Amino acid sequence: MEKIYEEALLFDFYGELLTDRQRQIYEEVVLDDYSLSEVAEEYGITRQGVHDMIRRCTASLNGYEKKLGLVKRFLDLKKKAAKIRDLTDNEEIRKIAGEILEEL
């Protein structure tokens, strides 16, 4: 899985478990691609402080995934729905599988 896609999924599933400040800083650096310097200046902390927070947040998000496995389940369901859609000749089943994929 691409690193940015994996980070985005982890954040989508578990980001609410971070503090508001952690969530904001993580989102700006990892998802919005702001530099450490830009974020450090905005929040009045050092670049090293931003870097350390990103590292801790990443470890927390990975820890949640290791314990709960929600991202893995999501990706497995998505893969199975795509397989159903691709293997069937029945248009109604294909349509339903496509709708499921859109919702996921």
Residue 91: how many other CB atoms lie within 10 Å: 8
Cα distance between residue 44 and residue 95, in whole Å = 51
For the segment 89-101, what is each residue's pLDDT rounded down to a tens digit?
Answer: 888 887 888 888 8
For the segment 19-35, what is each residue's pLDDT rounded down to a tens digit?
Answer: 999 999 999 999 999 99
Residue found by looking up tokens 């820890």 in the block: 63
Residue found by looking up tokens 């109604």 in the block: 92
Whether pLDDT at 102 is above 90: no
Share of the chain above pLDDT 70, in %: 99
- Kindly report the pTM of this predicted structure: 0.81
Cα distance between residue 34 and residue 57, in whole Å = 16
